[in-house]
Chains A and B, each alone.
Chain A
Amino acid sequence: MNKIPASEKFATIAIIVGIVFFAFGTFWQAVAPWLSLKNIPVKSMDKIAENIPPEFYMLAEDYPEEFKKYLGEPGKASFIEALTTGKKVYIAEACWHCHSQYVRPVSNEEMRYGKVSYPSEYQNVMQLPQLLGTRRVGPDLIRESGVHSNDWHAAHFKNPPAVTPGSVMPKYAWFYDKNGRPNKKGLSIIAYMQWLGSWAKEPLYELSKK
């Protein structure tokens, strides 16, 4: 029995390789980044809803009947409801497989999209689970707020190539009611798009100071 080298014993492999090596790697790749960032407070939905982008109020004006029906009065409660639903839709349709949510400090991305991403803007429950993404079939979305109008989004989700010729984005017919106007999913995903990056924008309207 003594002839078995330690490296070929069951206990060595199960404990050193199985547990210790895994713990070491996971510490540097997962635990340490968390320790570095854990002092940045994580924003709750309530905290997020303290800054409602003007586009959300405009959405209520653009689609008054639908907004009232699906989300109620524009304000904190309806904004939280819209963001929560928007995030659900974004995940269910796997939007994040084709759209990233971070601007890198390289490859002229600052010129294309805007401010380079920084850790604190992700410390909120809307990034639980995180939606940074790993592929860009379409453009990055973390600075999307205000880049397009609500109408543009409404037309775009219904038929992307009609708005952006050449687009390969799928059509999302189920974001609309039978009159062709955005339903709860449609309004929420638009609200979500208009929220992404609203915190990093220079204020354009009085409303944004509200």
Chain B
Amino acid sequence: MTDGKSGVVNYSLVKFHIGFSMLYLGIVMLGGLLYSLQFIGLYPFSGIEFLSPGRIRMLHTNGAVYGFIINGFMAGLYWAVPRLTGYRVWNEKYIGWFLAIALQAAVLATAAGLLLGFAQAIEWGETPIFIDPAIVAWLIVALPQFVLPIYKHAKEKALYAANWYIVAGLIWIIMVYIMGNYVPQFFVPGVAGAAITGTWIHDAVGLYVTPIGWGLMYYFVPVLLRKPIWSHSLSLLGFWGLAFFYPLQGVHHYLWSPIPMYAQYAAVLSTVVLELAVATVIVNFLMTLRGNTEAMRTSIPIRWMFVGTINYAITCLQCAFQVLLTTQKVIHFTDWVVGHAHLIMFGTFGFWIMGFFAYLWPKMKKAEAYSKSLDEWAFWLVTVGTATMWVDLISAGLMQGFNWWGLSPFIDSVNFSVPFWVTRAITGVLITAGFVLFAYNMYMTGRRAPVSLLKAQTSGGKA
């Protein structure tokens, strides 16, 4: 975990993935913004089949996962795994570049497929059926790429927490993807298919995005703060709790549906219990920050990561509350869920990835960040935008849920939502503006002449 091992990292691959991740994030944000305009009657491409709002929505959600997050994680993994283990990844020249280019090809083919009307009716797996085998193959090749160096390292030493998450996440996603994209599509119809689809929606987040995200956080946070993680026992508790309870919750996406109730009860219970495991992880990170809280002010990457962590705490508390069958009566099917999804996928994992980039990009370019004030503006625009969107959408959700329950005409819930949807579109503009500043800052940093001595722009600690 020291800088002495920088020789094992392939900078070109990290930069390539960061670049594409940022490109897709921009497109995804524009897509989301465009989609939000449909709700306030301002959609500019009305009547054009290939730009129908329904199709743009799929571009938004799938682009976020496959384009932005997976590329961001690849960049993080190419940086963190060699440094965690002291070994280079399996193969950079062929496998590394093959994976890098194949991923972009898959993302672009998916985007084209969705816009042309070849979507699959699996949430977050709308990837056209003919692209699915390519993604499974990609995931299988990506496994040894990162797990092999960890395996070599494990022969010498006990594995550090970051490695646990990365190994588990990369193994899980292969099985999860095959289960979620093939079984309900070809073999299991109806309600049982819904149970499997729910498990897929949940596992894609819980068994891939979450473990890889936490794994990278377990690497970056101690490195940036220059101190070890607070408690090893809590790391263990958090990991085993997450690993056991996370796969048990898929059906909570279809509560009060005709899926057998025992599966629904199991999902509710394990979701509530999971929040205890999550709390241990969050406490562990916050206690690591203790004594270095001024880093939140001085270090932009630390700020992204810890505000993301606080967002994570909020979403998880919310999750334990909203999964209760009583709460579900009101909030299910409403914008509440949309608000929740944005805070976890963007407010947490998006923030973490932006933190990783804010740290890695200047470091690799051997230049200081171009402008601190641009970074500040980007951070505050995105943070205010995301928080406002969350409050706005959960409020809208409550209103919609009670409106339906009260049996007023359905269109009332739509009409009353318009002010909320206008607010949502405005928060979308704020977030996109923040992203543009962030991207511009990265671009200008890259253009700067390298400085010979890179100041530790990261550590707030004096250690």
A-to-B contact residues, CB < 8 Å: 3-5, 7-10, 13-14, 17-19, 21-22, 24-26, 28-30, 32-34, 36-38, 42, 90-98, 100, 102, 104-109, 111-112, 117-119, 122-125, 127-132, 134-139, 161, 164-168, 170-174
Once A and B bind, how many residue pairs between them come within 8 Å at the CB atom?
246
A117 touching B243, Cβ below 8 Å: no
Docked Cα-Cα span, A102 to B343, in Å, equals 27
- Picked from A25, A92, A94, the residue with its CB within 8 Å of the CB of B248 is A25
Q: List, in ascending order, chain B residues with CB within 8 A of A97's CB.
A: 54, 57-58, 123
- Picked from B155, B193, B338, B415, the residue with its CB within 8 Å of the CB of A128 is B193
Q: Tell me the minimal C-beta distance from B161 to chain A in angstroms.
A: 9
Q: Tell me the minimal C-beta distance from B395 to chain A in angstroms.
A: 16
Q: List, in ascending order, chain B residues with CB within 8 A of A104's CB.
A: 256-257, 329, 332
Contacts beyond the supplied A33-B259, A119-B190: 12 A-B pairs with Cβ under 8 Å: A7-B240, A9-B158, A22-B175, A29-B250, A30-B199, A37-B192, A92-B55, A93-B54, A107-B405, A118-B258, A129-B185, A164-B411
Q: List, in ascending order, chain A residues with CB within 8 A of B150's CB.
A: 10
Q: List, in ascending order, chain A residues with CB within 8 A of B415's CB.
A: 166
| Interface flag for B246 (CB, 8 Å) | yes
B191 touching A37, Cβ below 8 Å: yes
A33 touching B251 in the complex, CB below 8 Å, given contacts A18-B171, A122-B190: yes
A132 touching B257, Cβ below 8 Å: yes
Contact with A along B337-357 (1 / 0, CB 8 A): 110000000000000000000
Q: List, in ascending order, chain B residues with CB within 8 A of A170's CB.
A: 38, 43, 46, 52-54
B119 touching A94, Cβ below 8 Å: yes
B168 touching A13, Cβ below 8 Å: yes
A94 touching B57, Cβ below 8 Å: yes
Docked Cα-Cα span, A173 to B168, in Å, equals 47
A127 touching B190 in the complex, CB below 8 Å, given contacts A17-B168, A93-B52, A122-B258: yes
Interface residues of B in 106-140 (CB under 8 A from A): 117-123, 126
A18 touching B167, Cβ below 8 Å: yes
Q: List, in ascending order, chain A residues with CB within 8 A of B239's CB.
A: 17
Q: Tell me the minimal C-beta distance from B185 to chain A in angstroms.
A: 5
A134 touching B333 in the complex, CB below 8 Å, given contacts A33-B263, A34-B188, A38-B192: yes
Range, interface on chain B: 35 or more
Interface residues of B in 211-265 (CB under 8 A from A): 236, 239-240, 243-244, 246-251, 253-254, 256-260, 262-263
A135 touching B257, Cβ below 8 Å: no
A26 touching B179, Cβ below 8 Å: yes
A91 touching B120, Cβ below 8 Å: yes
**Which partner residue on chain A sits nearest B52 by CB separation?**
A170
A92 touching B118 in the complex, CB below 8 Å, given contacts A104-B332, A106-B256, A107-B401: yes
- Picked from B38, B172, B251, B338, the residue with its CB within 8 Å of the CB of A135 is B338
Docked Cα-Cα span, A123 to B119, in Å, equals 22
- Picked from A96, A123, A173, A174, the residue with its CB within 8 Å of the CB of B121 is A96
**Which partner residue on chain B sits nearest A118 by CB separation?**
B258
The 7 closest A-B pairs by CB, nearest first: A25-B247, A122-B190, A18-B171, A10-B154, A92-B117, A128-B189, A94-B54
Q: Tell me the minimal C-beta distance from B176 to chain A in angstroms.
A: 8
A30 touching B123 in the complex, CB below 8 Å, given contacts A92-B118, A136-B334: no
- Picked from B189, B199, B250, the residue with its CB within 8 Å of the CB of A130 is B189
Docked Cα-Cα span, A108 to B405, in Å, equals 6
A34 touching B196 in the complex, CB below 8 Å, given contacts A29-B247, A166-B415: yes
Contact with A along B292-311 (1 / 0, CB 8 A): 00000000000000000000
Docked Cα-Cα span, A124 to B188, in Å, equals 10
Docked Cα-Cα span, A13 to B240, in Å, equals 10
Q: Tell me the minimal C-beta distance from B330 to chain A in angstroms.
A: 7
15 A-B pairs with CB atoms under 8 Å apart are A8-B158, A22-B172, A28-B263, A30-B196, A33-B191, A33-B192, A34-B188, A93-B52, A94-B119, A104-B332, A112-B407, A123-B190, A128-B188, A130-B189, A132-B194
| Interface flag for B151 (CB, 8 Å) | yes
Q: List, in ascending order, chain A residues with CB within 8 A of B164's CB.
A: 8, 13, 17
B57 touching A9, Cβ below 8 Å: no
A14 touching B167 in the complex, CB below 8 Å, given contacts A9-B154, A37-B190, A168-B38: yes
| Interface flag for B410 (CB, 8 Å) | yes
**Which partner residue on chain A sits nearest B41 by CB separation?**
A168
A130 touching B191, Cβ below 8 Å: yes
B192 touching A124, Cβ below 8 Å: no
B39 touching A5, Cβ below 8 Å: no
Docked Cα-Cα span, A138 to B415, in Å, equals 11
**Which partner residue on chain B sits nearest A116 by CB separation?**
B258
Interface residues of B in 356-382 (CB under 8 A from A): none
- Picked from A7, A24, A139, A165, the residue with its CB within 8 Å of the CB of B410 is A139
Q: List, in ascending order, chain B residues with CB within 8 A of A14's CB.
A: 147, 167-168, 171
Docked Cα-Cα span, A155 to B247, in Å, equals 45
Q: Which of A25, A111, A131 has the most CB of B within 10 A?
A: A25
Q: Which of B147, B188, B207 has the most CB of A within 10 A?
A: B188
| Interface flag for B159 (CB, 8 Å) | yes
| Interface flag for B103 (CB, 8 Å) | no
Q: List, in ascending order, chain B residues with CB within 8 A of A102's CB.
A: 257-258
A9 touching B159 in the complex, CB below 8 Å, given contacts A34-B188, A37-B190, A130-B197: yes
B39 touching A124, Cβ below 8 Å: no
**Which partner residue on chain A sits nearest B333 by CB separation?**
A136
**Which partner residue on chain A sits nearest B249 by CB separation?**
A29
B54 touching A98, Cβ below 8 Å: yes
Q: Tell me the minimal C-beta distance from B218 to chain A in angstroms.
A: 13
Q: List, in ascending order, chain A residues with CB within 8 A of B40's CB.
A: 168
Q: Tell me the minimal C-beta distance from A58 to chain B in angstroms.
A: 25
A13 touching B159 in the complex, CB below 8 Å, given contacts A94-B58, A106-B256, A166-B415: yes
A168 touching B189 in the complex, CB below 8 Å, given contacts A17-B168, A118-B258: no
